[in-house]
């Protein structure tokens, strides 16, 4: 196998794994992704058959029924700019009961350890609500799977398990479990496993997050500061700062902003043996909590200047030329697209070297001409036989910051004033020999947590990467907090606890030190709302109040939790009352597709009005327009009265349209209704009622469909589950497009 240099760099992304997440959020842009670098394989010592054998040995219950022809090995191996571990990938696919199932598996390192697996079964019906297994049974399945696949047996269930909940009844129930690796029963902060189990007990997803290190050393747990002393020191000295925090709501296509209190962004915790503060750049005797934010520039350095595709190509070429890689650089193509509702020009490029090529893209804001993202992937590529390692000495911190600021002013002159000078020291990766610098966005004198500009500088002072994902925020909360800093600190101190973990400080390869990290209400992810005083975890799922019902309790509570049915007071809610057309449409839309309440607000100067009485100011406007867009409503044929109660035959029409079967339903003459009250069905709706009845979407009472009867909340909740089963089956067969 081809040997590549091993470099586990602390990229902007991996920072989030190495630092305590709640404390690293202000320094890390959560939108940035690790971009894989693909390299054509020239070494055939790793074969498809070898990888298949590993799968069938470790996971016979999943892959015993697969033949070798069901697998395909990709022709490219790959790695990441901050991690040169070699990876290989298999994809697999086969037909089961006339449906296709498949997925992918990636293997890493010389020992071909399974790092990642994704599986889509042929039949998802048993995984849909209510599922065949409970969350507790899912945990047992996940634990057994980890024992088979993990490289060691020292994984334990993490206290923080981010369970996935889509809310769509057309998607499978999914239980997600997180496991932490341990050393002497102490969790290792950057080594974890995540497993997702479907509601029918099948494994859907597995990923192993851990550095591929040949040697690891762990600090001895002797002369450790007591938990009580560590907790007291944090309460006394770990001050909070007022910040804006980006929030993503499931019902909105736009990010929102909250005013919150958070600890200093670079603090990891307390080093347990030295009693010094552990930060992202090393250990410190004291914390400077009074650092003032200084804008990179007092004002805009250049007015926005739109660019063309040809302009973008020229800028990209100049950018790469300035980094000295011109002989291996080729522009492949360029195109325009939308990103975050902004016009973007992407210039795809490749580097060509002796044994192949690899590439990525450089992105620009079309309307301002500013750089959005760039990565020089040439430098971390494995050395050729005749190349030698760069021995340039490490660049001084002040020179790193000066170079980073210079590049930001040159490449983002229109928005440079929106960012502050780095409030934490650069993070150095001694393997890749690069410095990671983060410039937080500022608004009204406050850090915008979750929106920053990241730059990477090498020891020659050259730009290695530039990343700025501009978020279009329209409304900002007032910077004056209702909760005072003193009140926030008391709330923080009352809820504060500490957890002893192993942390790889200062990016030292394989060296783990003991650190007390702060937790609040048992979570490492937390914020204090500066206006309500509520302590929340951005990843916590809020459990809504439950209702009771003799026949539809599970269905009702699932839809309430998903936000498809809104219940203000569970004690007074009566599920046997009739539901209005507006509420029924909203429940259907929120149950079968992702619904954004502001979908039309930002997309057209003149929002569509499909029904005259439902204008953009109407509370059900987005529901109605979404239903029209999906074909559930037809403005040319339908009479819509939002406040009237929905009937059985009207619901049948909406369901059949949702399934894409309207054209079949319109041929009413070919249907013969078997219900006793067939004469009561509107002649125009006979086909819809017939199909709905045959598919079992709407039950009949003593062979009576009762077409004019008003539908109750409970009846809608029961029938919409049947609709979900039909949608899922059509989706599996490839005949459903939502």
Q: What is the DSSP string of 187-217?
A: EEEEEEEEEEEETTS-EEEEEEE----S--E
| Percent of the chain clearing pLDDT 90 (strictly above) | 54
As a whole number of angstroms, the distance between CA 412 and CA 409 comes to: 6
- Angle, vertex CA 475, rays to CA 469 and CA 479, nearest 5: 100
* 125: DSSP letter: G
- Residues 596-624 have pLDDT tens digits of 666 665 555 677 899 999 998 899 999 99
Residue 391 has what pLDDT?
75
Q: Would you say 426 and 282 are in contact if contact means Cβ atoms under 8 Å apart?
A: no
**The token pair that represents 443 in the structure block:** 């608004």
Give the pLDDT confidence score for residue 545 in this predicted structure: 84
491: Cβ–Cβ under 8 A, 6 or more apart, which residues? Answer: 483, 528, 533, 535
Closest CA to 36 of 103, 82, 92: 82
Largest distance between two CA atoms of the chain: 89
Alpha carbon distance 189, 714 (integer Å): 46
Question: What is the mean pLDDT of the segment spanning 126-140?
Answer: 92
Look at residue 701 and tell me whether its pLDDT is greater than 90: no
Task: Render pLDDT for 202-229 as a digit per residue (tens, 0 to 9).
Answer: 999 999 988 766 677 899 988 899 999 9
Please confirm whether the linkage preceding 526 is cis (ω < 30° from 0): no
Poorest-confidence range of 130-139, 199-208, 531-540?
531-540
**Average pLDDT in the 659-665 region?**
94
Residue length of the chain: 738
User: In whole angstroms, what separates CA 416 from the centre of its chain?
Assistant: 27
Note if the bond before 130 is cis, omega within 30 degrees. Answer: yes
pLDDT at residue 360 is higher than 80: no
The stretch 86-107 carries a mean pLDDT of 90
What is the pLDDT averaged over residues 425-444?
Answer: 88
Residue 516 · residue 20 · CB < 8 Å: no
409 has pLDDT over 80: yes
Q: Closest Cα to residue 492, out of 277, 263, 291? A: 263
> Which residues is 243 bridged to in the sheet?
260, 447
**How far is Cα of residue 236 from the mean position of the Cα atoms in its chain?**
35
Hey, what are 713's tokens? 């909340």
Give the bridge partners for 209, in sequence order: 192
Which of 236-250, 437-451, 663-677, 712-726 shows the lowest mean pLDDT across its residues?
236-250
Record the tokens describing residue 319, joined without a space. 């950018």
pLDDT at 81: 58
Residue 444: pLDDT over 50: yes
Report the pLDDT value the prediction gives residue 213, as an integer from 0 to 100. 63
What is the predicted pLDDT for the residue at 19? 30
- pLDDT at residue number 76: 65
Of 281, 159, 188, nearest to 514 (Cα)?
A: 188
Tell me which of 66-75, 148-157, 246-255, 328-337 is least confident. 246-255
Structure-token match 């369970």, residue found: 163
Q: What does the alpha-carbon distance between residue 319 and residue 167 come to, in Å, rounded to a whole number?
A: 45
Residue ranges in 294-416 assigned as alpha helix (H):
309-322, 397-411
The span from the CA of 160 to the CA of 176, in Å, is 11
Q: What is the DSSP string of 238-291?
A: --EEEEEEEE--TT-SS-EEEEEEEE-TTEEEEETTT-PEEETTEEESS--TTP
Residue of 588, 534, 600 whose CA lies nearest to 562:
588
Lowest mean pLDDT among 17-26, 380-389, 439-448, 504-513: 17-26
**Mean pLDDT of the chain, nearest integer:** 84
Residue matched to tokens 């571990």: 85
**DSSP for 165-185, written as a single string:** ----TTS--EEEEEEEEEETT
Q: Are 692 and 685 in contact (CB under 8 A)?
A: no
Q: Is the pLDDT of residue 266 over 60?
A: yes
Whether residue 735 has pLDDT greater than 80: no
Q: Which H or E run contains 359?
A: strand 356-365
Question: 617-653 pLDDT, tens per residue?
Answer: 899 999 999 999 999 999 999 999 999 999 999 999 9
**What's residue 719's pLDDT?**
95
The pLDDT of residue 280 is above 80: no
């Amino acid at each position: 196998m081809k040997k590549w240099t091993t470099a586990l760099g602390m990229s902007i992304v991996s920072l989030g794994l190495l630092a305590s997440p709640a404390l690293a959020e202000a320094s890390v842009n959560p939108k940035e992704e690790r971009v894989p670098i693909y390299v054509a394989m020239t070494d055939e010592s790793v074969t498809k058959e070898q990888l298949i054998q590993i799968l069938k040995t470790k996971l016979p219950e999943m892959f015993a029924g697969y033949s070798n022809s069901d697998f395909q090995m990709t022709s490219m191996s790959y790695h990441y700019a901050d991690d040169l571990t070699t990876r290989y990938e298999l994809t697999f696919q086969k037909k089961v009961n006339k449906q296709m199932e498949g997925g992918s598996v990636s293997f890493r390192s010389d020992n071909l350890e399974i790092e990642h697996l994704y599986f889509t079964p042929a039949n998802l019906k048993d995984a849909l609500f209510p599922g065949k297994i409970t969350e507790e049974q899912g945990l047992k399945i996940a634990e057994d799977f980890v024992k088979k696949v993990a490289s060691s047996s020292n994984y334990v269930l993490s206290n923080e398990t981010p369970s996935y909940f889509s809310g769509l009844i057309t998607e499978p129930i999914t239980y997600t479990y997180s496991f932490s690796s341990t050393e002497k029963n102490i969790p290792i902060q950057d080594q974890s496993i995540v497993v997702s189990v479907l509601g029918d007990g099948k494994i859907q997803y597995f990923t192993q997050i851990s550095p591929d290190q040949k040697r690891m050393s762990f600090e001895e747990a002797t002369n450790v500061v007591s938990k009580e002393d560590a907790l007291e020191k944090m309460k006394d000295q770990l001050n909070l700062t007022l910040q804006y925090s980006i929030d993503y709501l499931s019902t909105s296509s736009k990010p929102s902003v909250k005013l919150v209190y958070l600890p200093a962004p670079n603090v990891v915790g307390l080093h347990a043996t030295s009693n010094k503060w552990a930060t992202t750049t090393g250990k410190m005797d004291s914390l400077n909590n009074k650092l003032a934010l200084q804008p990179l520039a007092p004002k805009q350095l250049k007015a926005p200047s739109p660019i063309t595709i040809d302009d973008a190509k020229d800028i990209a070429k100049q950018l790469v030329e300035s980094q000295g890689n011109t002989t291996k650089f080729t522009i492949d193509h360029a195109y325009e697209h939308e990103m975050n509702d902004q016009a973007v020009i992407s210039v795809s490029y490749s580097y060509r070297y002796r044994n192949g090529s690899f590439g990525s893209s450089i992105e620009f804001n079309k309307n301002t001409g500013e750089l959005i993202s760039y990565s020089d992937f040439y430098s971390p590529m494995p050395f050729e036989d005749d190349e030698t390692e760069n021995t340039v000495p490490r660049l001084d911190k002040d020179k790193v910051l000066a170079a980073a600021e210079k590049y930001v002013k040159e490449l983002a002159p229109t928005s440079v004033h929106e960012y502050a000078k780095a409030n934490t020291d650069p993070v150095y990766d001694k393997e890749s020999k690069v410095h990671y610098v983060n410039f937080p966005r500022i608004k009204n004198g406050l850090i915008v947590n979750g929106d920053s500009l990241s730059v990477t500088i090498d020891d020659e002072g050259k730009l290695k990467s530039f990343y700025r994902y501009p978020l279009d925020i329209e409304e900002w909360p007032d910077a004056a907090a209702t909760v005072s800093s003193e009140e926030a600190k008391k709330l923080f101190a009352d809820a504060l606890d500490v957890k002893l973990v192993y942390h790889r400080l200062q990016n030292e390869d394989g060296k783990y030190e003991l650190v007390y990290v702060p937790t609040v209400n048992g979570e490492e992810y937390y914020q204090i709302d500066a206006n309500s005083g509520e302590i929340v975890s951005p990843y916590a799922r809020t459990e809504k109040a439950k209702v009771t019902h003799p026949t539809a309790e599970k269905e009702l509570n699932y839809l309430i939790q998903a936000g498809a049915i809104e219940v203000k007071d569970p004690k007074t809610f009566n599920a046997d009352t009739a539901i209005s057309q507006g509420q029924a449409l909203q429940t259907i839309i929120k149950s079968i597709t992702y619904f954004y309440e502001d979908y039309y607000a930002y997309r057209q100067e003149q929002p569509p009005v499909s029904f005259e009485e439902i204008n953009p100011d109407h509370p059900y406007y987005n529901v109605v327009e979404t239903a029209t867009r999906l074909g559930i409503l037809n403005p040319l044929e339908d009479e819509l009265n939002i406040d009237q109660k929905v009937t059985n035959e009207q619901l049948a029409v909406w369901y059949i349209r949702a399934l894409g079967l309207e054209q079949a339903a319109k041929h009413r003459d070919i249907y013969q209704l078997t219900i006793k009250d067939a004469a009561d069905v509107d002649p125009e709706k006979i086909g819809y009622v017939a199909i709905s009845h045959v598919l079992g979407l709407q039950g009949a009472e003593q062979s009576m469909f009762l077409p004019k009867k008003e539908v109750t909340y409970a009846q809608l909740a029961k029938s919409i589950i049947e609709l979900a089963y039909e949608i899922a089956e059509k989706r599996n067969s490839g005949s459903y497009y939502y």
